[in-house]
Amino acid sequence: MAIELLNLGRVDYLPTYAAMQEFTNQRDLVSSTRENDQLWMCEHPPVFTQGLAGKPEHIFLPGDIPVVQTNRGGQVTYHGPGQVMGYPLIDLKRAGYFVKEYVYRIEEAIIRTLAHFGATGHRVAGAPGIYVRLDDPTGHAPLAQRPKIGATHQTEPDFTGLGKIAALGIKVSRNCTYHGVALNVAMDLEPFSRINPCGYAKLQTVDLSTIGVSVGWADAADILGHKLATYLAP
């Protein structure tokens, strides 16, 4: 069944969060075939969002930017203009795959989006999201820290020479997903210096413009939206 792709434009975070919860909760009240899964693409005014595992000490200078407690996984991150948000609202049971593969598919969609714009995205074992090499954002040499099949417990990630360009934060309720992924396109990155992004001190955050890719928000949202719809399909 196709994923319905909706571009919401710039919307406030709290009403969007509430709408995702409402959409997901309504799925319990009717047949699971009630409607297609949906994928919401949008951007938000400046806001810090804190995950369930979030620690207050990771937000040390919020200033005039609101902090919203959420029920997604992960720690604190920042959302703001120039960042593409993708919120997949998917019934995983119907789609036929589990949470670990869901995360992999989202990351793959981001990697393919970056490749479309000539950049190379990397996974880091134990640190969900997508990263780029600061000194060679278009190079294809694999990271030593990439996830490896059969690997056991990993040491603490080393982000030396890397910049985080996309963050994940998901929630699964009764097999249905919400929250999602943030891809930094062309934004004011200063607010990231007020937090430990995703709970990591000194983790550098970058966007496409930082690594020399000039693309508008609408074009980036269009490519990421279609990549997500493709890679998250059953």
Q: What average pLDDT does range 139-144 have in this prediction?
A: 90
Greater pLDDT, 73 or 35? 73
Q: Tell me: pLDDT of 131 over 60.
A: yes
- Ordered DSSP codes for 87-105: EEE-BHHHHT--HHHHHHH
* Burial class of 215 by CB neighbour count within 10 A (0 to 12, 13 to 18, 19+): middle
* Per-residue confidence band for 134, with pLDDT thresholds at 50, 70 and 90: very high
Beta strands 4-10 and 38-43 are parallel
Q: 139-149: string of b/e by CB count within 10 Å (b at 16+)?
A: eeeeeebeeee
pLDDT digits (tens, 9 = 90+) for 117-127: 999 999 999 89
Query: Does 140 score more than 80 pLDDT?
Result: yes
Query: What confidence category does residue 1 fall into, taking pLDDT thresholds of 50, 70 and 90?
Result: low
Band of residue 150 on the pLDDT scale cut at 50, 70, 90: low
The CA distance from 100 to 86, in Å, is 18
Here the tokens at position 16 are: 């969007």
Six-digit token string for 164? 């985080």
Does an H or E element contain 130, and which? strand 127-133
Residue-wise pLDDT for 165-223, tens only, equals 999 999 999 999 999 999 999 999 999 999 999 999 889 999 999 999 999 999 999 99
CA distance 223 to 227: 6
50: DSSP letter: E
Closest of 136, 41, 39 to residue 95, by C-alpha? 39
pTM (predicted TM-score) = 0.94
What percent of the chain clears pLDDT 90, i.e. is strictly above it? 83
The string of pLDDT tens digits covering residues 3-35 is 999 999 999 999 999 999 999 998 866 555 456
Pairing of strands 38-43, 83-89: antiparallel
Report yes or no: 90 and 152 within 8 Å, Cβ to Cβ: no
Residue 36, pLDDT score: 82
pLDDT at residue 28, as a whole number:
65
The listed CATH number (2.40.400.10, 3.40.50.1360, 3.40.190.10, 3.30.930.10) that belongs to domain 4-231: 3.30.930.10
Distances (CA, A) of 141 to 9, 120, 174: 36, 9, 39
Specify the length of the chain in residues: 234
Contacts of 179 (CB under 8 A, 6+ apart): 20, 70, 72, 73, 87, 169, 170, 171
Decide if 176 is catalytic.
no
Average of per-residue pLDDT across 96-103: 96
Percent share of the chain, pLDDT over 70? 94
Q: Out of 20, 124, 198, 206, pick the active-site residue.
A: 198
Rg, the chain, Cα only: 17
| Dihedral angle sign, alpha carbons of residues 213, 107, 28, 14 | negative
- What band does 146 get if pLDDT is binned at 50, 70 and 90? confident
